[in-house]
Amino acid sequence: MPMAHVYPAFFVIAAIMLIGWVIARRSSFYTRLITPRTNSRYESLDGLRGFLAVAVIIHHGLATYTRVTTGKWTVGDSPTYGLFGTAAVAMFFMITGFLFWGKMLKDGENFDVRHHVRGRITRLVPMYLFVATLALIITLINLWPLQTSVSRLSWLFFSIYGLGLPRWSPIHGFDPGKIVAGVTWTLRYEWLFYGILPLLVGFRKTRWIVAMAVGYLVYFAFTNRGWIHKPLGPSVNLLGGMIAAQIQHTGSLTKINWKSRWVSFLGLAILAMLPKAISVFPIAVFPMTLVFFITVVKGNNYFGVLTASGPKVLGTISYSVYLLHGMVLYLAHPMLHRVAMTQSAAFYWVALTGLAVLTVLISAVTYRWIEEPFIETERARRKAGVPASKLTPIYTWPTQPTIGGQMVA
């Protein structure tokens, strides 16, 4: 069973989704979270997030195999496993662009910048700081005894605790970024998008979105750079999400029965053709991915798979999974190296499946006790309808907002 074969990945996906289903069945907390709300318009997006998180685990699991056997961080020549990383991250960006541009289109001039900033901080920062602290401890253990200048050590602290904005700084030949599989680079684009979003309130007309899309096409055509290359490549996927939000907001393409099985077959065919497209006609990968994403936005649940409890649980905890899976793989390097060098590829896939399941279980705990309390605190504030400027910041376990120290009913 060579590592380049695709079918073992389906075993990993099935095992993780099964664990998600078990969590949904055994935990009243997660049962409540994944129960559809009456105002839940995009339930399939939660399931999509779950599959994207698993795809990233598999991508980095294969890259880890190459690292422990050859010393190189790559998935080799497999376009499929390459897309497990790039296409998954692209659609994560699309989800971000879709949700927040959709909110901008809905609120318009009434877009609440304070709540927007507060919400992004409470959503992303707590879990990031937790992972950053673990990564810093592992880094210091690798560097011990410390023989470095105060300035270099200070920069190490700043880069790791910089919320993903600066690149994690290597020190004395050790790169702390490899502890988390380098995933923090995506937060740089997220923060930039969140920062400029309030400035785009005057560009809500469709013509501006079209103009931005044309500008990207011209850029890619004249620079001969792909949709995944930095610096602008990843940001085009945010624009893709904005395009999907614009289509949804304006009520376009409503004559198509997006929930039909034929649309489902079309979307699956697009996914199947992506590995070939990236090697034959790379510029087509972005519009193909966007078309698939639009089918999900329009409500296609792909025969109920995207709204099943397992994928939805994975989607709920996907941020924890995204930040933690690299650390689990890193700490398992000695075991993975031994398996890769002495056993068959099948044993490595089994080991990778076990580590993926472990990541999900840990992430279910971190979401419950690190992410959710902060999310719920901010959600309670918004439900109370209290202006952000009047709120006393209480980032603790209580889930009710306060005014002047008094709890808001």
* Chain segment 61-115, per-residue pLDDT in tens: 999 999 988 888 888 778 888 889 989 999 999 999 999 999 988 888 788 888 8
In the chain, the amino acid numbered 295 is: T
Give the separation between CA 35 and CA 274, rounded to whole angstroms: 33
Mean pLDDT within 213-242 = 73
As given in the structure block, the two tokens for residue 200 are 């785009």
- What Å distances lie between residue 382 and 172, 341, 385, 398, CA to CA? 46, 54, 5, 15
pLDDT score for 388? 47
Neighbouring C-beta atoms of residue 317, cutoff 10 Å: 29
Structure tokens belonging to residue 327: 């650390």
Residue 2: pLDDT band (50, 70, 90) is low
Secondary-structure percent of the chain, ordered helix, strand, coil, rounded to 5: 75, 0, 25
pLDDT in tens, 285-340: 888 999 999 999 999 999 999 999 999 999 999 999 999 999 999 999 999 999 99
Least confident of 19-28, 69-78, 117-126, 137-146: 69-78
When pLDDT is averaged across residues 263-291 and rounded to a whole number, the result is 88
- How many separate helices (H) and strands (E) can be counted in the chain? 16, 2
Work out the average pLDDT over 225-230.
Answer: 56
* Residue 171, φ and ψ in degrees, nearest 5: -145, 125
Lowest-confidence region among 152-156, 212-216, 219-223: 219-223
Helix axes 285-297, 79-107, angle to 10 degrees: 50
For residue 359, pLDDT beyond 80: yes
The predicted pLDDT at position 143 comes to 87
The predicted pLDDT at position 392 comes to 43
Give yes or no for residue 226 having a pLDDT over 80: no
Instruction: Check pLDDT > 50 for residue 402.
Output: no
Amino acid at 264: S
Q: For residue 406, what pLDDT is reported?
A: 42
pLDDT in tens, 202-217: 888 888 888 888 887 7
For the chain, what percent of residues have pLDDT higher than 70?
A: 88
Residue 257: count other Cβ atoms within 10 Å of its Cβ.
11
